[in-house]
Structure 1
Amino acid sequence: MKKFKNLLDINKISFYKSVNNQIFILFGLITFACVFADFSFKNSNLTIPFIITTLISSTITFKGISKLKKIEIKQIIRREGPKNHFLKQGTPTMGGIFFIPIGIIISNIIYFNKANYHIVLTLSFLSIFFMFIGFIDDYLSLKKQLNTGLKSNQKIILQFFISLIFIIICASNNLIPNNILIANKIVYIGNLIYPLGIFVLLAESNSTNLTDGLDGLLSGCSVLIFTGLAITILIENPSNNLTLAPLCIVMAGACMGFLFLNKYPAKLFMGDSGSLAMGASLGGIALLSNNLWSLLIMGGVLVAESISVIIQVSIFKISKRLQGKGHKLFLMSPLHHHFELKGNNEVLIVSSFWLVTLLLVIINLIFFIQN
């Protein structure tokens, strides 16, 4: 019996080492990409902001865990979720209130009194207010002691209102292009860019919110997507290297610092305050840099997660109306829960989704390099 217990302990230690190795490989990969970009593009400055933001984010977030524990800000697990998630009950949440402001503050410090600072200020407004919506949702969840805070229609109304203000500010300052780049074709859409922009912000923020269901899943994917956006912007339009590209890499660093504590087994969850702000930031940057198509490609995992929910709900409602009994395509949605209930290990699912995101980022970058 003692030998069996020792064997389990050894396997557990090996498992944790494997997770840590994945995190450091990801950090090394992003650092290498930053160094390569800095050597390849004139005036590019990605490496130092990424490393500094990662260190600050990791440090501040680590210190924030004890504060959250002290005031009992702990995750509430929904009853209908996978049974193994009940082991996560009581893990501190609302980590977004630490690492999102770090990304915003460092971005503003870097660009303060520089050309195009108003772009960073506008994107900061978007991210901070989406974080605030998430904060309200998280707070109400804790107050009710349920995994539901704001009602879905309340959340959408608040997101729509902030998105509308963001679009109005951008339109009045000529920050949004009146065309979209699809593959290598420019499609003029005129004023339709404004409702499209609102849709993108709503869709992206809710996609990230749905994806945030496993330890390290959203934070790891976001690191890759933010980095992919930064390099895409440099390839496509090097004149943006003093604004949007470093802003992307700072947000990647903020997510990376958080990931060190959000990896399996998570010591901290980001909550809606983190996931909604990350999605809004991705959507806002892609919109202003005219990289909506790239975001769609690189964020394929986020898209798949959202579509799985839409399909699941639609099939259930239609079948219930036609047959009197609802049917499901997936064991559970979003998609990552389906794979969990199929018996797959959580870490394997997360690392697989990271790998898919990495491949999508590489495909997007290869396309831009060739064109």
Structure 2
Amino acid sequence: MDAKLFHDQSLNFSGIGLASLLTITLGGSGFILDLMANRMPWYLNSLSLPLLLCAVVTAALGYWVVPLLQALKTGQIIREDGPQAHLKKAGTPTMGGIFFIPVAVVVACIFSNFAQDVVAVSALTLSYGLIGWLDDWQILRRKSNKGISPRMKLILQIIFAAVFCLWLMFNRDSSITNITFPWVNFVLPLGFMFWPFAGFVLVAESNATNLTDGIDGLAAGTVAIAIFALGVLISPSSPELMIFCASLSGSCLGFLAHNRNPARVFMGDTGSLALGGALAAVALLTNSLVALFILSGIFFVETLSVMAQVSYYKATKGPDGKGKRLFKMAPLHHHLELTGWSELQVVAVFYAISAILALICFLGIKF
């Protein structure tokens, strides 16, 4: 789409307007879906109560944590080769995942009466959050964009993924290794190959949400939509994990009160790695990998844009050691910014696409 045409025809979005609209939409949807499923919205085992409680608690907690992060000098280091408009964000506190992820985990565990599946997913989520925290801490300590090495990050992700898969192996029957395609009523038996595939899904999903976290409110909002939809889809068979999904979606919405444009805090790898791990862990436990693939459409495209950029650059590298770029900058959201889209326009369009994917997934699987 032509950037100028897009500017001329677009609405004047605002960060608070987008965040409020998303919160009202998901909160209202939860209320309606609870009533349709004969669940009272104010019950612990509903979609509405954990979502709204986590949203309110996280938003309120942010008014204490964000100034604390500022006082601790956790300001984000901005890439000099990125969009020039981002340079003004230097010094904005990062590592915001340390307050909104635990809120969701605590509420989900309490509301589900510490159900085994919820505790397992929570442990995986916090473990990936810990990897992200180590990376964020190293970035702040070194005052550069270099955190822990990519190799070390990958090794830690694989280790925690392997532990989760081992737990899954001994707590589920052999049917867990079958991937179900609900639309065509087809089952793909993977057998032992399911386990390395499951590990790949955990690592890939966490890195995909991490790549998506590059614009104010983008990752928090798109994950809020995706994990809310996943919670709705699994609610009949896994009500405890539905509570977890609703709680994490609510925490993302509460975080948006501070992360929406212009952001007062960034989630950092502490939040983004944890969110992807949570999505993947829930999908693996509930045999919802096909649904996860659809709901993660935005994260998938963002990852593909990075892979395509790197591959094309290497393939076109000349004698001078320089190659050509497929995009102005990767991931895709930065390319769109550099072609003339504003941050708010990118976020609005990505939210809309995420909502459409959620609706397609829900209608396709349910009906």
Query: What TM-score results when the alignment is normalised by the length of structure 2?
Result: 0.92
- 1:181 is matched with 180
- For the residues of structure 2 that align with 1:324 and 1:100, how far apart are their CA atoms? 42
Question: Identity rate of aligned residues, in percent?
Answer: 35
1:267 aligned to 264, 267, 274, which one? 264
- Equivalent residue number for residue 212 of structure 1: 213
Question: In structure 1, what is the equivalent of residue 33 of structure 2?
Answer: 37
Post-superposition Cα deviations, 1:121-158, rounded to whole Å, max 9, x if no partner, equal: 11111011111100000000011111120111111001
1:89 aligns with 2:93: no
Say whether residues 1:336 and 2:329 are aligned partners: no
Which residue of 1 is the match for residue 300 of structure 2?
303
Maintained 8 Å contact 2:50/2:108: no
1:326 aligns with 2:323: yes
Equivalent residue, structure 1, for 2:365: 368
Residue segments in structure 2 that go unaligned for 5+ positions in a row: 1-10, 40-44
Deviation, 1:322, is: 8.2
Question: C-alpha distance in 2, partners of 1:277/1:324?
Answer: 36
Question: What secondary structure sits across from 2:180 in the alignment?
Answer: strand
Q: Which has the higher helix share?
A: 1
Report Cα offsets for 1:48-89 as digits up to 9, x if no partner.
Answer: 111111100111122101110111111110111111100100
Measured after TM superposition, the shift of residue 232 of structure 1 is 1.2
Counterpart contact for 2:178–2:190, Cα < 8 Å: yes
- Matched position secondary structure for 1:344: coil
Residue 141 (str. 1) matches residue 142 (str. 2) = no
Distance 2:70 2:322 in 1: 43
Residues 56-67 of structure 1 aligned to structure 2 (within 5 Å) = 56-67=57-68
Alignment of 1:339-350 (within 5 A): 339-350=336-347
The equivalent of 1:26 in structure 2 is 22
Aligned 8 A contact 2:112 2:243 in 1: no
Counterparts of 1:267 and 1:168, CA distance in 2: 39
CA contact under 8 A between 2:15 and 2:262: conserved in structure 1?
Answer: no
Q: Partners of 2:337 and 2:282 in 1: how far apart?
A: 32
Within 5 Å, give how 1:113-132 maps onto structure 2: 117-132=115-130
Alignment of 1:43-62 (within 5 A): 43=39, 45-62=46-63
Cα offset, 1:19, TM superposition? 2.6
CA distance in 1, matches of 2:209, 2:226: 12
One-letter amino acid of the structure 2 residue matched with residue 168 of structure 1: L
Q: Distance in 2 between matches of 1:334 and 1:19?
A: 21
Unaligned runs of 5+ in 1: 1-13
TM-score by length of 1: 0.91
Residue correspondences, number: 349
Deviation for aligned residue 1:31: 1.1
What secondary structure is seen at the aligned counterpart in 2 of 1:181? Answer: strand
Corresponding residue for 2:72?
A: 71
- Residues 98, 271 of structure 2: 8 Å contact kept: yes
Amino acid at match of 1:110: F
CA shift, 1:325, in A, is 3.4
